[in-house]
Chains A and B, each alone.
Chain A
Amino acid sequence: MYEFKFHRPTTVRQAAGLLARQEEAKLLAGGHTLIPTMKLRLAGPKHIIDMSQIEGLSGIEVKGRSLVIGAFTRHDEVATSSIVKENIPALAELASLIGDPAVRHRGTIGGSVANNDPNADYPAACLGLGATIVTNKRRIPSDDFFKGLFETALEPDEIIVRFQFPKVNKAAYVKFPNPASRFALVGVFVSKRGSDIRVAVTGAGSNGVFRVTAFEEALKKRFGVKSLEGLTVPVDGMSSDIHGSAEYRAHLVGVLARRAVAAATA
């Protein structure tokens, strides 16, 4: 691991100031992506800005028609929260499938979404629920947030402070985990909120999380498994690696989307 200096700001403003001032600075939340990446020397930030001392960045509450989750909220808190289970159970289920229990005790939703790993679970929830990502500067709709592999709309000194997930009528997440890492080989999040239907896929796309508009259109006619029968996604645009070919991933997208709709309508 390369050497670094660390900072422990107590407000978001201080953290943003440090991000803007210090060269090669990185935010540290749960650390369960950044620390392994630093060990491999794939990242060598000169400054680490630890978010753990900032008050008010974690917590879960219902505000109006939204479920609001602080950026520093850990996966285990989302997975076990009675508020999440009551309002968007699919989101609690998704959080319970991330990594393993020890990882869920440390990893945070903000860290996961800011990192935008193409195989991470939370990006599918954000895009699949039409979440709004609230930063220290603005509100970013999830449709405008994810920009490709590990790329987001976040500016260099921009910090996610919370997520607003609209309450939906129906939703489910089904994941085919890589058996070693528990990352999604493919994961599909479906939701229905009135006439707004979303199908978001993580793990499969060579450009990160994406929506399947063809599936969404089919589900608008009738939100049921039968609407998706025979539908597939193009192999072109799927990622391909030792864990699964593009053809296999394209196949899984169809299978998991049908399973997700079945779970959402059960």
Chain B
Amino acid sequence: MTAVAMTVNGKAVTGDVDPRTLLVQFLREHLRLTGTHVGCDTSQCGACVVHIDGKAAKSCTTFAWQVQGANITTIEGLAEPNGPLHPMQEAFRENHALQCGYCTPGMIMSAVDIVWRKGNDLDENTIRHELEGNICRCTGYHNIVKAIAAGAKAMEKSPMAKTA
């Protein structure tokens, strides 16, 4: 067993885990933050995307001990508890950018990362290219792309859209 300590959604957390524990398992099974999903478990689908020190990463392809001391943000940490949704979450709701919802947390975490890297004015090509690491089996992506363009614009005016 190995001791891990990191900051998750602004809170210091610790755990005593088997070295094989992936970050996504630590989040879901030890911290009970089940918003981050395991889809393919092969680093292709993006359902497990979280932010590690402000950068989108696949938590199914990272050992918990590799992010010792890091700052992790999950879908649960994007907005304040019981407060308004993050503008990207709101844009997904407004644009009906989900059907089954399984890919949504990863989509939104990737979307926020795209805005941080590419700015608030995103064209369709950029969004589609940048979403290559997130797979949705239901929607055909059309509304996801619309939501991200809208969410990106909304983030420009939102105090919640600060970089990590």
Residues of A at the B interface (CB closer than 8 Å) are 1, 3-6, 28, 31-32, 35-36, 39, 48, 50, 52, 76, 99-103, 105-106, 180-182
Cα distance, A218 to B118, chains bound together (Å)? 40
Contact A101 B130 (CB under 8 A): yes
A73 to chain B, nearest CB (A): 14
Residues of B at the A interface (CB closer than 8 Å) are 2, 18-20, 22, 41-44, 46, 49, 52, 55-58, 61-63, 65-66, 110, 113-114, 117, 130, 132-134
**Which residue of chain A is the closest to B118 with respect to CB atoms?**
A101
The residue among A3, A100, A182 with the most chain B CB atoms within 10 A of its own CB is: A100
**Which residue of chain A is the closest to B113 with respect to CB atoms?**
A101
Contact A39 B41 (CB under 8 A): yes
Q: A32-B61, A36-B42, A102-B58 are in contact. Are A182 and B132 (CB under 8 A)?
A: yes
Cα distance, A138 to B89, chains bound together (Å)? 52
Q: A39-B41, A180-B44 are in contact. Are A106 and B62 (CB under 8 A)?
A: yes
Closest 3 CB pairs of A and B: A100-B133, A100-B132, A105-B55
Contact B61 A35 (CB under 8 A): yes
Q: Which residues of A contact B19 (CB under 8 A)?
A: 3-6, 48
Contact A102 B57 (CB under 8 A): yes
Cα distance, A103 to B56, chains bound together (Å)? 9
Q: Which residues of B contact A101 (CB under 8 A)?
A: 56, 110, 113-114, 117, 130, 132-133
A240 to chain B, nearest CB (A): 23
Cα distance, A101 to B128, chains bound together (Å)? 12
Contact A105 B57 (CB under 8 A): yes
B91 to chain A, nearest CB (A): 19
Cα distance, A100 to B43, chains bound together (Å)? 10
Contact B57 A106 (CB under 8 A): yes
13 residue pairs A–B, Cβ–Cβ below 8 Å: A5-B19, A31-B61, A31-B66, A32-B58, A32-B61, A39-B41, A76-B55, A100-B134, A103-B61, A105-B55, A106-B58, A106-B62, A181-B44
Contact B20 A102 (CB under 8 A): no
Contact A100 B61 (CB under 8 A): no
